[in-house]
Chain A
Amino acid sequence: MLGGDQADDRNMTAFTEPLSVFFGAGAEFAVSALYKGAITISGVFDNGSGASFGIAGTRPRFSCKATDVPSPARGDALVVNAINYQLADWTLDDTQTVIALELERQ
């Protein structure tokens, strides 16, 4: 007879995360953004305050489905809340399905 953890492992089944629930248009915390001047994408925009070397600023980041930004490149334009940004860097999460775009305000 299997123990609790082993039984749980055997009963686990793979499933597909419904990312649109989090990042899709109409999702509770999602906003629309214009990517490269032509593509409307939807995701979660964080812009928390920060400081570095005694200089205040924010840390803008836009998280969305990786399939919405299949070939990111530094300098790609993104307009969020009517503010122009450029893509400075990006990271994929462990599942490779969510991409976080680190932005530079223009």
Chain B
Amino acid sequence: MAAHVSTQLRNALKSALTGLATTGAHVYADRPESRSLQAAELPGLLIYTGEEVAALDSLDGGILNRTPRLRVGIRVKNTGAIDDTLDQIRKEIEIALAGGLTVAGRNLVAQYTGMSEPSLDDTLDQPVIAAELEFLFEFYTLYNAPDALV
């Protein structure tokens, strides 16, 4: 039995973002925010499951329309033009997801819905910046089978 589509989606997102030019293999899902990224893990991306809205989409109530949101946290620490580094990472992420994600054999559009205001801090040994991107997905599942797309 396949995993919940949410898990499949998150795994597909992690796979799509792994190997980008600036962040490389520094892509982390299922990581508590309290577990700070160390120097060897930066610059890094954090994948979080966001809000999901679901609604019945058939008269018999058998099909659900689902619109989950996934967030990608960008974490950078360095000297120099730290905003430019953030923008470069954003560019690589948006390009990587422009073609959507393949989940359970289907291509799902990754709709970019925006970025949080970046947070800057200069009280550590090097300046740090953090921001969250959000992507919206839409697909259908059977009411009693959340592990497969219809």
Instruction: Let me know if A52 and B38 touch, CB within 8 A.
Output: no
Q: Mark B56-78, 1 if CB is under 8 A from A, else 0.
A: 00000000000000000101010
Q: Smallest CB-CB separation from B35: which chain A residue?
A: A54
A73-106 CB contacts (< 8 Å) to partner B: 86, 88, 102-106
> What 0/1 pattern do residues 49 to 80 of A give for CB contact below 8 A with B?
01111111111100000000000000000000
List chain A positions with a Cβ less than 8 A from chain B.
Answer: 47, 50-60, 86, 88, 102-106
**Chain A residues, CB < 8 A from B122:** 88, 104
Known A104-B79, A106-B79; contact A53-B125, beta-carbon cutoff 8 A:
no
| Interface residues of B, count at CB 8 A | 24
The answer for the CA separation of A102 and B38 in the assembled complex, in Å, is 21
Interfacial chain A residues near B119, Cβ < 8 Å: 53
| CB contact between B75 and one of A50, A54, A58 (< 8 Å): that residue | A54
- Take A104-B79, A106-B79 as given contacts and tell me if A54 and B125 are in contact as well, using a CB distance cutoff of 8 Å: no
